[in-house]
Every structure is written in C-alpha cells, then in structure tokens.
Amino acid sequence: MSTLKKETVWFVSQYAGAPDIGMQYRQYQFAKELIAMGHEVAIVSSTYSHLFRKLPPNENKFNFENREMIHYCWVRTPAYAKSISIGRFWNMLVFAWRLFFLPTHELPKPTVIVVSSPSMLPIQVALKWRKKFQAKVFFEVRDIWPLTLMELGGLSKYHPLVAFMRYFEKKAYRKSDKIISLLPCAKAHFMDGGMAESKFVYIPNGIDSNIPPNSLTPIEKTNKLVIGYGGSLGKANALDFLLDAAEELRHREDIEFILMGKGDDEIHLKERANKMKNVTVLPPVEKKDFLEKLGTFDICYLGLRADPLFRFGVSPNKLFDYMQAGKPIIYNIDSGNKPVDEAQCGISVTPGNKLELIAAIETLAQLTHEERIAMGLRGRAFVLEHHTYHFLAKKIIDSAKN
C-alpha cells in the first residue's frame, strides 16, 4: 500500500491572517486542511495589514508562534494610513527585504513554497529558498499587478513603478514551478508574461468544508421576500444600484431589502436607506455567524462595479458563502467567468441595467418557495463539489507531485 508523501508547505503572504486577527483567511483555511491530511504548514505574514481587525505580535522583527498546529512567523512591517498609498508600497518593500534575513531554522524545512500576490517582490527570496531547501516554488496570483496600476490607476507601462513590478511579475511567471490563479481566464495573460502553459493551476477561493451541509437548512419564510447582501459596504460593491431597484419596487409591500456590513460607503447607504421604507442596513456579524444570518435571506445579491480586469474572471468569497447557505443569487458582475450560470443557482444581470435587475427580482419573487429552495440547493451542491478548501488544498498537493 502506497503512503502519502508528507509535504511541508510555506505560505508567504503579507496579508495572511487568522480567525481572531482577520482577513485574509485563505492561507489559514488551506493550512487547516493540509494539516488534517498529515502535512505540515508555516505561514509567513506581516504584522500590519489594513485588513486586520487585531494586530499580531510585533515586538521583534520576526515573531514566531504556533496557532492550531500552524507555524506562524509575523514579519514586522510599518503601518500605513490608506490602502492605496506610498505607505502601503513601503510596507511591501520592507516585508520583502526582511525575508532575506528570516531565521528559516525556526520553521520546518519546506518542500513547497507558495508566494501570494498582490506583492510579487518576495519571489526573489523564494527562489533562493528553493535552491537552499530543494523545494518547489508556486506563485499565487490573486490580483494581477502591475496591470491593475495601468488599467485602473492610469499609469503608463513606462512608469518606473510599473516597470519595477513588471520585472518581478515576469520573473515569477518564468521561474516558478507552478502559477496558481484564482482567475480562471487569466492563462493567456500569464503566458504573455513568460509562463509555460503547463504551469497554470486554477485554485479559486472556497468554503470551510468542516461546516456540515445539514446545518444550513433554508429558513421557511411566511411573509416578506428578503433580498439580502452581506459584506463590505463599499462603492465597488454596486449597492447604490441595488437601492435604485429597491426604490423602483417601493410599491411592492411583499419585498424588502437588507444590507449587512460596514465599509467606506456605509454612511451614504444608511442615509439613502433611512429615506426608504423597504431598505434596512444592519451591522456586520462575525464570520462564524455569517452563514446563519444568511439563512434569514430569501435571495442574495452580489455586485461589483465594472472593471476591465474582471475579463480574467473573479472569485468572490461572498459568492461561495451565498452558495453554501443555499440561497438563489442575483449576480451583477461583468466577468470572464459566470459561476452562477454554471451552477444554475440564480440570475445574472448586466451591470448598470436597472431594468434587468428589477426583472430578475420579480422573476425570483414569482417562483414558489420550493422552487427558490431548489435553485439555492443547486448552488450548494456546486460549491460543495468544487469549492471546499479540502478539495482545493488537495490541488496544491497534486501540483507538487508534477
């Protein structure tokens, strides 16, 4: 009988967090699944991220601790005021530079090193570690930089910052053993940057596979149909578009809208909601309570403002939470992939087309409760088959074998 080869995986991502610290949770979820499979995991992150709710230990340049059998190293980096700022770029530089002096003997010897973007600067030291430890290096592309700076920031391809980041991007595509992409339609772009086609591995975001499906039974609704949104209340989430539809449907006393979360557009959205009888804005809930709260929704809304980068596809965590909760979804994103259509668990609408959005809401409202349940359960079946972190973590291990 063959035995499973034990891998030791390092995740190098300055935004990787933990349940009590905050986003991002992707590396943490991978770590838990890999450890359950018998592998060993270390996460190398930074002491400051604008996504953290609570800051990790930062007394030293390198702060080591074990959390749930995960070896963490928090690399001290400077704080910054805004997510888009020189301060954040300086934070990236400091993180990448200090990795060269990381006391690697404090961590288990790696066999696989996963460097996660948006910062691709750590790829330089990861390639040195590959030689030192005879390990494989995977480059994980979450956001495509520096293309984001060019298409959204308006920077020229000749701008020094773009040229600097493009150098590391191309090196990562050429030199890494595998390119892990959250974006299913990005292979051609990576190949233009020097990636060999055989290196491409699609590993999207996922769900916690330890939550039993039978604990998410949809709640029976007896009065109003609830169109709900849970997540960041930001301009990028196209929530004004949803409120425009709510305003048009104010005569429908059987339909109400709920926004749940916080964000930089929260004040504006609350001001609008306070003038409308059919819209309520609720505070956010803890991640562990999020799915239960989704049970009070009949239909979930997911929207993003138009972004040319979405041609490469999207992998929103909220989408998979909605699917796991077994809810029909209104998908208001112009993306290269169409996951809601693929799972047949909702209706996709054209961003900016209010009439389409209203028609989608009314179409779902006309369905029977049982028909909406059946639609939501198709999404749950889809996400449990393709998007559990157990399934996705196995893809990392399978990639290490090739």
> Which pLDDT tens digit goes with each residue over 225-274?
999 999 889 898 999 999 999 999 999 999 999 999 988 899 999 999 99
The SS3 of residue 63 is: strand
**What mean pLDDT is predicted for residues 144-149?**
82
Alpha carbon of residue 30 to chain centroid: 13
**What is the Cα–Cα distance from 121 to 103, expressed in whole angstroms?**
19
pLDDT at 4: 67
Using the predicted structure, report yes or no on whether residue 217 has a pLDDT greater than 50: no
Of the listed ranges 149-153, 363-367, 388-392, the one predicted with least confidence: 149-153
- Band the pLDDT of 71: cuts 50, 70, 90: very high
**What is the Cα–Cα distance from 142 to 226, expressed in whole angstroms?**
32
Structure tokens that stand for 336 in this block: 């290269």
**What is the Cα–Cα distance from 251 to 121, expressed in whole angstroms?**
54
Q: Do the domains 213-386 and 8-206+388-401 match in fold? A: yes
Start-to-end CA distance of the chain, whole Å, equals 21
- CATH number of 8-206+388-401: 3.50.50.60, 3.30.70.580, 3.40.50.2000, 3.40.50.720? 3.40.50.2000
**What is the Cα–Cα distance from 265 to 267, expressed in whole angstroms?**
6
Q: At the top level of CATH, which class does the domain 213-386 belong to?
A: alpha beta
Region class of 69: left (phi > 0), else alpha (psi between -120 and 50), else beta = left
Give the pLDDT confidence of 159-181 residue by residue, as tens digits.
888 888 899 999 999 999 999 99
User: pLDDT over 70 for what percent of the chain?
Assistant: 96
**All structural domains of the chain with their residue ranges:** 8-206+388-401, 213-386
Using the predicted structure, report yes or no on whether residue 56 has a pLDDT greater than 90: yes
